Amino acid sequence: MEEQTKAQARWAVESLLARRTRGMRGSDIRDAFKLTERPDLISLAGGFPDEAAFPLDEVAGLIERLLAREGGRVFQYGPTEGSSELRSRVAEGMGRLGVAVPPEEVLLTSGSQQALDLIGRVLLDPGDVVLVESPGYVGGLSAFAAYEAQLVGVEMDREGLIPEDLERQLLRLRREGARVKLLYTVPTFQNPTGACLPAERRAALLDLAAEYGFLIVEDDPYREICFGSPPPPPLAATGAGRVLYLGSFSKVFLPGLRVGWVAGPAELIARLSLAKQPADLCSSLFGQKLVEAYLAEGRLAPRTAVLREEYRVKCEALHEALRAEDLPIEWERPGGGFFLWVTLPEGGDARRLLETARREGVAFVPGEAFHVTAGGGRRSLRLAYSQSSPERLREAAARLGRAIRAHLSEKAGIFPAPVKWVDTPLHPARGAAAQ
């Protein structure tokens, strides 16, 4: 009886859903997060910042001083656009990256994820084309898919998005009469591949945006997690008027505060701000004030230097441990960020590998989760090194090694070949943080 009632309720809900939500599905990544609850399992699935590195003592002091100074005001509703002091500081930080932007053209959001949603809300009609990296960041793909955009994947190689493929797609879409509104890219230490787009390719993307009349959404949360020489300047530095730039304090401070921003052309920022009012009235003022105090006390730059070194050591540990396994797989050693993207030999299947890997006690996200075309990324897997200690990463590589060998030996015609990997030259980490 109870079952019947539940079934009826499910039916009623289904029939009430808006068209745009009917196709929504949970991501493989979310499923993979559940696995982190198993203590014996080493999860390289969720790309969270390292909780052990959160500066809790510093934060306790900051909160105390903040409350003494501002009292209850920090828990009040704030302006929809965000605290004006923090907007100014973000604008200054962007200036140091070569992006000249006044504070009025910075909208603070609940993490950069909210900016992705607002962009979809303000710019996308059903059927509009959004060009996306293939593979691309799942949170961005799902934000745009939620507004019924047509997502078109653009190919990537070890350096990131391939401008020639972008142009091919643009020509084809123009012939088909499709309306291309956005290109969504994470050009710097990309999620999921770790790739960093060279300056010439950045220039080529901007040229294409001008020629074909679309806007670039540049999502840049990993820029500061850089292991060697600094990445090229943001697209927004030379693409004024054509780029919406998304930044975040999640990777360099505390993700749970949910403080990010979007900067771009004044008219668009005004629209995004209008769309933000019904979404949340205002994002957490407390979080913004805390970030503001962190910046004002000059704590971010030294902290970022520590984080860079910490993540570099983790990346190195996983890279070296995988090399030592001598597996017939390929990957790129990233110059920054949280992720290592691995490709299995012909015939490999990351989803099936995951089953074996779980039994061995290690998890990752299969590459298909990051693709908009069926079958894309079947041979790929994303390994996040951000959360585990170097020791755990070495153990994870050993478990993965056993799982990959077992997976490949199940498959006829695949014989271990020498390991292939590409080294990104490392240079001393740069001194100053951008914001």
Ligand X SMILES: Cc1ncc(COP(=O)(O)O)c(C=O)c1O
> CB of 234 within 8 A of CB of 199?
no
Q: In angstroms, what is the minimal distance from the CB of 174 to ligand X?
A: 28
Q: In angstroms, what is the minimal distance from the CB of 186 to ligand X?
A: 4
- Closer residue to ligand X (CB): 169 or 185: 185
- Closer residue to ligand X (CB): 223 or 399: 223
Q: In angstroms, what is the minimal distance from the CB of 190 to ligand X?
A: 7
Q: How many CB atoms lie within 10 A of CB 36?
A: 15
- Closer residue to ligand X (CB): 184 or 227: 184
The distance between the two most distant Cα atoms of the chain, rounded to a whole number of Å, is 69
> CB of 153 within 8 A of CB of 132?
yes
- Closer residue to ligand X (CB): 113 or 284: 113
Q: In angstroms, what is the minimal distance from the CB of 47 to ligand X?
A: 5
Instruction: Give me the residues that bind ligand X (CB under 6 A), please.
Output: 47, 111-113, 137, 139, 186, 191, 219, 221, 248, 250, 255, 260
Q: In angstroms, what is the minimal distance from the CB of 394 to ligand X?
A: 24
- Closer residue to ligand X (CB): 337 or 401: 337
> CB of 242 within 8 A of CB of 205?
no
Q: In angstroms, what is the minimal distance from the CB of 247 to ligand X?
A: 8
CA torsion, ordered 393, 344, 184, 125, to nearest 10 deg: -120
- Closer residue to ligand X (CB): 221 or 348: 221
- Closer residue to ligand X (CB): 246 or 404: 246
* Strands (E) located in 94-135: 106-109, 129-134
Calpha distance 40→50 (Å, rounded): 18
Place of tokens 């520590």: 306
What the block records as the tokens of 207 is 């040229």
Q: In angstroms, what is the minimal distance from the CB of 42 to ligand X?
A: 19
3-class DSSP state for residue 124? coil
Q: Give me the residues paired with residue 68 across strands.
A: none
Place of tokens 């908009």: 372
Q: In angstroms, what is the minimal distance from the CB of 113 to ligand X?
A: 3
Q: In angstroms, what is the minimal distance from the CB of 221 to ligand X?
A: 5
Q: Which of 244, 216, 258, 252 is nearest to 336 (CA)?
A: 252
Q: Give me the residues paired with residue 191 across strands.
A: none
Q: How many CB atoms lie within 10 A of CB 365?
A: 29
Place of tokens 């200054």: 92
- Closer residue to ligand X (CB): 255 or 336: 255
* Amino acid identity at 105: E
Helix (H) or strand (E) holding 90: helix 84-96
Report the residue closest to ligand X, judged by CB.
Answer: 111
- Closer residue to ligand X (CB): 254 or 318: 254
- Closer residue to ligand X (CB): 81 or 219: 219
> CB of 237 within 8 A of CB of 99?
yes
What the block records as the tokens of 41 is 């399992």
What the block records as the tokens of 398 is 């050993």
Q: In angstroms, what is the minimal distance from the CB of 263 to ligand X?
A: 14
Calpha distance 233→238 (Å, rounded): 9
